[in-house]
Structure 1
Amino acid sequence: MVRMPTPQSVLGPTTTASLFLVLTVDTGGEPVVRELLADLAGLQRSVGFGHPDGKLSVVAGIGSAAWDRLVDGPRPAQLHPFPELRGARHHAPATPGDLLFHLRASRQDLCFALGAEIMTRLRGSVAVADEVSGFTYLDQRDLLGFVDGTENPTGPAAADAVLIGAEDQGFAGGSYVIVQKYLHDVDAWNQLTVEQQEQIIGRRKLSNIETDTPGSHVVLNTITGPDGEQRQILRDNMPFGSPGKGEFGTYFIGYARTPDVTEEMLRHMFLGDGPVSHDRILDFSTAVTGTLFFVPHADFLEGLADEAVALVEPAADN
């Protein structure tokens, strides 16, 4: 019987704390990165062992530009750079990123501890492109005051939406993930009435009930397939910010079996759909980063240690 590959903890439960690390790999740093990726699961177990209630997990992704530098073999079928989008009013930038580490726990100190261990191993071999600590805000709300992540698939539907299957057999059990950092103009947002905010989002602010408002954020992000079925992604967005600096934001992270679904959502938001020129939430939320990664299954990461050894050991004499 063929053993199915073990996914990384993409489908793990939501938590109250997170750390997002986006890194670029320095020239010559590839062997160190491979060894860290191969050891990542063990490192997570070591940090989290004494705190089983902490629900510590980590997901690692590899960007398109770094794949061929780190992996000796074929590429995932749909791995490509994040597609920059320039609409009439708003811009979704593509920003550097060779590695993504998505750390989750019920306590921020556990994310910090594991992040520190990762960076200790990688320091001198990578540069930090972005680092964001996220938190759960009130009853799962974003900093605009609305509940986020309501329509995430669960159970078998989540696995079907997120994990690659027979369509790319060599990478079955893997996933694609897109990340973007959004900064909110909360002062301008709070000048709107609640009814105006609800029309933009497409949900009631208090009850979280959808309103199906034409052109709303919810409607623009509802993607259907050729048979009318809804195509879904798994979001684990987290608020972040600094009140003293006046910084309020949302870190968007969307896992999917194919990046096509998330990219279509973003096209609707930034380029419009039919008579709608853009998602009106973008008048108050600015995207400042954008990167796409492939998330291999856990066994694939562990196998990278063999590639690192093969590249640093001298060839045997004939």
Structure 2
Amino acid sequence: MDEGTWNRTTIEPQSVEAPLSNCAIFLVVTIRPGDEAARRAREVIADIGGLVRAVGFRDLSGHLSCNVGIGSAAWDRFEQPSRPEQLRPFAPITSGTHIAVSTPGDLLFHIRAERADMCFELERLILDKLDSSVTVIDEVQGFRYFDARDLLGFVDGTENPTGAAMAESSIVGDEDAEFAGGSYVVVQKYLHDIAAWNGLSTERQEQIIGRTKADNVELDQPDDARKSHKSLNTVVDANGVEHDILRDNMPFGRPGRGEFGTYFIGYARELWVIEQMLRHMFVGDPVGEYDRILDFSTATTGTTFFVPSLEVLEGLAPSD
């Protein structure tokens, strides 16, 4: 076991490493003012496992799960003696006409299953339990699109780590021992200009993404060429070590309203890795050479959360 790797035998994370599902709901809420609202929120999230079991037992093959993320301001309201070392609000990134916006969010519920009705039922129960203690800020229903493609037509999540590397990239270890087994997560909702994107040739789309569209093969990139989306999302530190995150993006849309999008959700052991990826995308690497996918995709939300281990989550229950 590498130094700083969390111990599976004593710490149980939430379902961060669950495989890509057919259906998902991304629910972001804020907690209303007052001690009673904060107390109610703590009661509900501490018992999220009970709600998952109440729905999930109906079809075990549905693989229902729910990760609960807690925002920086909410963590402070929960009056805990300490906080995750890297938990901080999402900082907006501005570069020319492209902006990574920062939007409100105290709690994130990342619901996944093989059946849409199970996701729906769990969300309904969660909101019933939370009742008037929260305000819904954003609610997105995602779906698996053919062979894990986004609505731009490319396979999404190809660079996700696998095996032991999955936990090493996404789960906090002994470097923050009190919160080992947790994970930092950033969410962003992107809306696509599908008509403009489809107006490009396939070759041009492939140059922007950095992969072939039909068979998902990584393209060779000349040293003097502008970096692709794939290259800009590769983070290498000063020692030449590449750092990964775990993505569970899902497409969503309502064609009748002209809405086509991708819900980005990235889990990371080190929050700075996701922040660096976003700086590369919006500011550019080098500066000015931003991710050209942003000419067709607009970020409309941006929020950071911490997904604690099950032990820490359950420990948030208010004492009598």
TM-score of the aligned structures, taking structure 2 as reference length:
0.94
Q: Could you say what secondary structure the match of 1:176 adopts?
A: strand
Give the corresponding residue for 1:55. 63
Q: C-alpha root-mean-square deviation of aligned residues, in Å? A: 1.3
Deviates more, 1:261-270 or 1:210-219: 210-219
Report deviation, 1:274: 1.3
| Kept after mapping to 2: 8 A contact 1:212/1:218 | no
Letter in 1 for 2:299: A
Aligned to 1:22: 28
1:173 counterpart residue number: 181
Correspondences of 1:148-297 after superposition (within 5 Å):
148-213=156-221, 214-274=226-286, 276-297=288-309
SS in 1 for 2:213: coil
Matched residues, percent identical?
57
CA contact (8 A) 1:212 1:219 kept: no
CA contact (8 A) 1:93 1:287 kept: yes
| Distance in 2 between residues matched to 1:212 and 1:27, nearest whole Å | 53
Deviation at 1:89, TM superposition (A): 2.5
Aligned to 2:104, what secondary structure does the other structure show?
Answer: coil
Query: Counterparts of 1:276 and 1:90 in 2: how far apart (Å)?
Result: 11
Q: Deviations over 1:136-195 (max 9, x none)?
A: 001110000000001100111000001111110110000000000000000000000000
Of the candidates 79, 82, 87, which is equivalent to residue 79 of structure 1? 87
Please report how far the alpha carbon of residue 276 of structure 1 lies from its aligned counterpart in structure 2 after TM superposition. Answer: 4.9
1:223-253 deviations in Å (ceiling 9; x for gaps):
1123322200000000000010010000000
Q: Secondary structure, in 3 states, of the residue corresponding to 1:189?
A: helix
Q: For residues 299 and 275 of structure 1, what CA distance do their matches in structure 2 show? A: 42
Tell me how far apart the structure 2 counterparts of residues 160 and 2 of structure 1 sit (CA, whole Å): 12
Distance in 1 separating the partners of 2:259 and 2:93:
24
Deviations for 1:284-303, whole angstroms, at most 9, x for unmatched residues? 00000000000100111111
Residue 67 (structure 1) shift: 0.5
Question: Which position in structure 1 is the counterpart of 2:54?
Answer: 46
Q: Distance in 1 between matches of 2:8 and 2:107?
A: 30
SS of 2:315's equivalent? helix
The 5 A counterparts of 1:113-152 are: 113-152=121-160
- Give ranges in structure 2 of 5+ residues lacking alignment: 1-6
Cα gap change, 1:146/1:156 in structure 2, threshold over 3 Å: closer, same or farther? Answer: same
Q: Which stretch of the first structure deviates more once superposed, 122-131 or 207-216?
A: 207-216
Cα separation, 1, equivalents of 2:272 and 2:95: 18
Partner Cα distance (1:50, 1:121) in 2: 20
Hey, what does 1:313 align to over in structure 2? none
Q: Which runs of 4+ in 1 moved over 6 A?
A: none
Kindly tell me: are residues 3 and 140 of structure 1, through their superposed partners in 2, closer, same or farther at Cα, counting changes over 3 Å? closer
Q: What SS is found at the alignment partner of 1:208?
A: coil
Letter in 1 for 2:203: E
CA-CA distance at 1:3 after TM superposition? 5.5
Shift of 1:57: 0.3
Per the alignment, residue 13 of structure 1 pairs with 19
Deviation, structure 1 residue 50: 1.7
